[in-house]
Amino acid sequence: MTSQQDNTSRLTLGTRDLVNIGVFTAIYYFVTFLGGMMGIISPIGMFAGFTLSTIIGGTVIMLFMAKTHVMGAMTILGLIIGILMLATGHFWGTVPLCAGLGFVADLIVRAGHYRSRGHNIAAYGLFQLWLIGPFAPLFINTTAYYEDMRGSMGATYANQMSQIFTPWVVAAFIVILCFVGLLGAWIGTKLIDRHFAKAGMVS
């Protein structure tokens, strides 16, 4: 039993692929969750935490892509990340968003024939956009929330608050995270070259 994968990419997911998906999803989720936990200290801590977890997650996902050359692997990873986010009380829209972005990432990786570094790095950077999902309730249904605010604090303050709480700060941050993701994925490929390729753990 070796960890050497066969060199041709397959179309169907075998049991080994499914277990691999589970293991790497667990690590990736753990890393992301730790990053989010830094938000308990302060919102700034959460931004720092997500930046760090995006960089570390880059190595995890790069190794995952190097080990699993199957169409659908990133889709399932995204779907399960979404389900885990839902099960820990985050916004339900994260599930379709994660699965959709995972599918797009899958298509990009496939376009690079599962070998192209550039494609893999781009796929990870794009996939990190899912982090907008947990914040999505701040963006949508703003009129309903405005009504609640007006009921509690009156129209003048409710207006002020709706101006201060513009979600575009969060949106801009997530877009920056995309680029951080590209950097993280690039670091990931370097780490894999240095530690895993030499040891023969990836083909």
Partner 1 sequence: MSAEATLSEAVPPTSTPTEAASAAASSPAPSAMQRASTANAGTLQAGAAASGLSVDPRTSIALLVLVNILVLGGGPFILTLATAAFVAVLYLLCGRWRGALKFSVFILVCATVFLVLPRLVANPVTALVAVAAYWFTRFGVSCGYAAFFIATTGPAQIAAALVTLRFPRSVVVPLIVVIRFIPTVGQELRAINDAMLLRGIRPGALGAIMHPIRSSEFILVPLLAASSRIADDLSASSMLRGLGTHRHPTTIEALTFGTGDIFVCICSLLLIALRIFGGGIIL
Q: Is the dihedral of CA 116, 120, 125, 127 positive or negative?
A: positive
Task: Mark the segment that binds partner 1 (CB under 8 A) among 101-109, 125-133, 170-178, 195-203.
Answer: 195-203
Q: Work out whether 25 is an interface residue with partner 1 (CB under 8 A).
A: yes
Nearest CA-CA partner of 186 in 99, 118, 93, 110:
118
Considering only CA atoms, give the Rg of the chain: 19
**For the chain, give me the number of helices (H) and strands (E)?**
7, 0
Window 53-82: contact mask with partner 1 (x via CB under 8 A): --xx--xx--x---x----x---xx-xx--
The CA distances from residue 175 to 51, 105, 126, 172, 203, in Å, are 11, 16, 9, 5, 32
Of residues 50, 91, 114, 130, which one binds partner 1 by CB under 8 A? Answer: 91
The CA distances from residue 11 to 17, 71, 119, 123, 130, in Å, are 11, 6, 19, 19, 25
Q: Count the site residues for partner 1 by CB under 8 A.
A: 66
Window 100-139: contact mask with partner 1 (x via CB under 8 A): -------------------------------------xx-
Q: Work out whether 163 is an interface residue with partner 1 (CB under 8 A).
A: no
**Residue 151: which residues within 8 A CB-CB, separation 6 or more?**
none
Of residues 6, 8, 40, 164, which one binds partner 1 by CB under 8 A? Answer: 164
> Helix crossing, 43-67 with 168-191: angle to 10°?
40
Q: Work out whether 153 is an interface residue with partner 1 (CB under 8 A).
A: yes
Residues in contact with partner 1 by the rule CB under 8 A: 1-3, 13-16, 18-27, 29-30, 52, 55-56, 59-60, 63, 67, 72, 76-77, 79-80, 83-84, 86-92, 137-138, 140-141, 143-145, 147-154, 157, 160-161, 164-165, 187, 191, 195-196, 199, 201
